[in-house]
Structure 1
């Protein structure tokens, strides 16, 4: 039982990180109604900014405290993501109001390539480390309930808690604030939102800024675990099955979908992997997503579209 629970907890913590990446896709889709191909590039760019600023700030200002340097690096990287959001709206999105979804999709694809090149030009293309002080040593918990306790990775635990707090905050933001309701209105119909006085340009800047901060937190956590390298952009691919399961328009769906994928990957690798020769963790999520596309294409929490003729 203890081994099963260790695997289950590991899956839940990995699932929260998947949900965090998927959340960026959901934010953009809720505001523009288009799948954002640039989310992976945003995660990479934000992680590069965080890693490089944490190196440069002590040199620029003579700061000896790693904590202060990391806080300033996070703020500067966040400012970079807000600036990118403003540029995206100013140079691209404002000219694509009420355009076809395919047009907006291609725009995000172009933004993705632009951010990849810009990040490499400004911050370099080497492999960098992000050290935000999260302990990497494992810890035993519930020693009184199970003999020997359960072995949990502290870094995974803290990362999952950070992701959970951010996801909960954004859920409240979308459901309880006027800006969150305006975002949903913009996603439904750009022209209708404009006609009732919703400032479309400002809404897009806000949502891309929030998605940029989410990408920064995701990049910071994944960069701390895996190192910051250009393959980090492919982390976004891990969020695709999460989106299919949870639904492209649902913040709670991103959470549930992430937990299902995280737990499913870990349990399938441990219990089914030996039966098929291993490696099931790599493709399990995509097979599950394919099944959902066949049975419930809108996802668990997505809105079912009914066309009346």
Structure 2
């Protein structure tokens, strides 16, 4: 071992990176849910995050409602918005080319972003801290409290969804509709209802992620930009794989932390995408993505 090497710093960067990856994995979960249910990448996921954070600010700070009530109202508001978007924007595009739906989500993101800027303005707001900030010290390693608790919350949310999809009747129906919509429809499953529920779940997940991000930094329309960095994660893990989102989130989180610690913040946003590119050359469908075989 190199006596001059700072092993404590390496351990701290690695642990903090893994813990930060938990929140990235939860954001990626929102992308994966919609892709599994509809086959579409939702480029408005960041706007769901932003809406959730602004709704929470309005309910908790402006209206003075208790924390729990503000959270419930924020989730409900985003759930309604997601259901309206699925019914009014996405469902009329059913059967259209995928590129048309992708462009619709991009246009939707721009519309929501503009509406938020018009209603709340573009300045920064401060949210109350939702997570304990007291650091955890393990020898020479210091772990920020907000990073640890955001990781635990993200893992709890992901585990809850996994159990729901595996054991609940509605969850099984959603998995069946996502796997083979035609067969599911023949068997009596309301495919449209499952797709609407998929959008609602993704919206609620995005809202929670947005509230966590805004409470640890600040609230502005830029909150939604955190979702753009998650594209590397869903591509790396596989567009339709929840386990892939978890593993890829942890990998990218650790890579970002190590590169920021040793190479500087400017390199932080480049290295994860370079890593994804190298891995995709070997595994084009990601680490856990479903391999699609087309017969001519």
Q: Decide whether aligned partners of structure 1 residues 278 and 47 sit closer, same or farther in structure 2, where only a CA change above 3 A counts.
A: closer
1:246 touches 1:257 (CA, 8 Å); kept in 2? yes
Partner of 1:264: 255
Partner of 2:151: 160
2:25 touches 2:250 (CA, 8 Å); kept in 1? yes
**Candidates 280, 290, 293, aligned match of 2:280:** 293
Deviating runs (4+, > 4 A) in structure 1?
none
Partner of 1:125: 122
Q: Helix, strand or coil for the counterpart of 1:130?
A: coil
Listed one character per residue, the Cα deviations across residues 46-74 of structure 1 (whole Å, up to 9, x for unaligned) are 1111122211222xxxx6xxxxx221111
Q: Helix, strand or coil for the counterpart of 2:96?
A: coil
- Provide the C-alpha distance between the structure 2 equivalents of 1:210 and 1:238, rounded to a whole number of angstroms: 21
1:241 touches 1:288 (CA, 8 Å); kept in 2? no
Partner of 2:103: 106
| TM-score after normalising by structure 2 | 0.91
2:13 touches 2:257 (CA, 8 Å); kept in 1? yes
Number of aligned pairs?
Answer: 290
1:269 touches 1:280 (CA, 8 Å); kept in 2? yes
2:187 paired with 1:187: no
Q: Decide whether aligned partners of structure 1 residues 233 and 133 sit closer, same or farther in structure 2, where only a CA change above 3 A counts.
A: closer
- Provide the C-alpha distance between the structure 1 equivalents of 2:27 and 2:187, rounded to a whole number of angstroms: 32
| TM-score after normalising by structure 1 | 0.87
**Candidates 15, 19, 27, aligned match of 2:25:** 19
- Name whichever of 7-16 and 125-134 sits farther off: 125-134
5+ residue gaps, structure 1: 64-68, 144-148
Partner of 1:208: 199
- Name whichever of 166-175 and 129-138 sits farther off: 129-138
2:235 paired with 1:244: yes
2:11 touches 2:141 (CA, 8 Å); kept in 1? yes
Superposed displacement of residue 93, structure 1: 2.6
5+ residue gaps, structure 2: 1-6
Partner of 1:135: 132
- Provide the C-alpha distance between the structure 2 equivalents of 1:173 and 1:133, rounded to a whole number of angstroms: 25
- Provide the C-alpha distance between the structure 1 equivalents of 2:248 and 2:169, rounded to a whole number of angstroms: 26
Partner of 2:79: 82
Q: Decide whether aligned partners of structure 1 residues 278 and 205 sit closer, same or farther in structure 2, where only a CA change above 3 A counts.
A: closer
Superposed displacement of residue 102, structure 1: 1.8
Partner of 1:66: none
2:30 paired with 1:33: no
2:61 touches 2:127 (CA, 8 Å); kept in 1? no
Partner of 2:68: 71
2:2 paired with 1:5: no
- Provide the C-alpha distance between the structure 2 equivalents of 1:133 and 1:179, rounded to a whole number of angstroms: 31
Listed one character per residue, the Cα deviations across residues 208-255 of structure 1 (whole Å, up to 9, x for unaligned) are 111111011100111012211111121111101111110010111100
Q: Decide whether aligned partners of structure 1 residues 213 and 278 sit closer, same or farther in structure 2, where only a CA change above 3 A counts.
A: closer
Superposed displacement of residue 20, structure 1: 1.2
CA RMSD of aligned residues (A): 1.9
- Provide the C-alpha distance between the structure 2 equivalents of 1:103 and 1:209, rounded to a whole number of angstroms: 21
- Provide the C-alpha distance between the structure 2 equivalents of 1:198 and 1:118, rounded to a whole number of angstroms: 36
